[in-house]
Amino acid sequence: MKRFFQFTLDNSHLTIRLALLVSIVFAAFVPSLVLAQDTDPIAPTDNEVNAIAKEMYCPVCENVPLDVCGTQACAQWRALIREKLNEGWTEDEIKQYFVDQYGARVLAEPPRQGLNWLVYVVPPIAFLAGAYILFRGVQSWRQIEPDDADVEEPTQDVEKPTDDYVARLEEELRRSEQ
């Protein structure tokens, strides 16, 4: 044991002691490096922000979802969504915040109230009405097969035309057929 504490200039002992010293210093600083990193467990991911952003439209561009728009306004809105999520807001609260600020036009799906109900009711009704009209039209276009007993044979007795012009025309047609 006495020998361990003695200082010798032997290369192998010096190397071991130096390695031990470096590892102790490194072990002392590693926890501080890990603690210096931002490891906020409740920080929203880009997927969480985009899940809300894709249900909203850009305030500047026409019909462009917020999650794919490249304007500065959309980047600010996405940052605001991230901030609200950090504060613990729910998706519905965030959407309501934007509706209060900019109106219902920012939502991808209009709220089901007032005249907006027409968006949900009219298309199925129009589809059913169109299907009914098409069904009735096909029924009326379909020809009914006549029974053999109801069919009248054309007779040879053709009435004589009363107009002189028509009479001369028919006579000319009969001559040209022969």
Domain ranges of the chain: 2-36, 46-114
Full DSSP string of the chain: -HHHHS----HHHHHHHHHHHHHHHHHHHHHHHHHHS---TTPPPHHHHHHHHTTBB-SSSSS-BTTT--SHHHHHHHHHHHHHHHTT--HHHHHHHHHHHH-GGGBSS--SSGGGHHHHHHHHHHHHHHHHHHHHHHHHHSPPPPPTTTPPPPPS-PPPPSSHHHHHHHHHHHHHH-
Instruction: Say which CATH class 46-114 falls into.
Output: mainly alpha
pLDDT attached to residue 103: 84
pLDDT attached to residue 147: 57
pLDDT lower than 70: segments of the chain? 1-14, 25, 29-42, 143-161
pLDDT attached to residue 47: 86
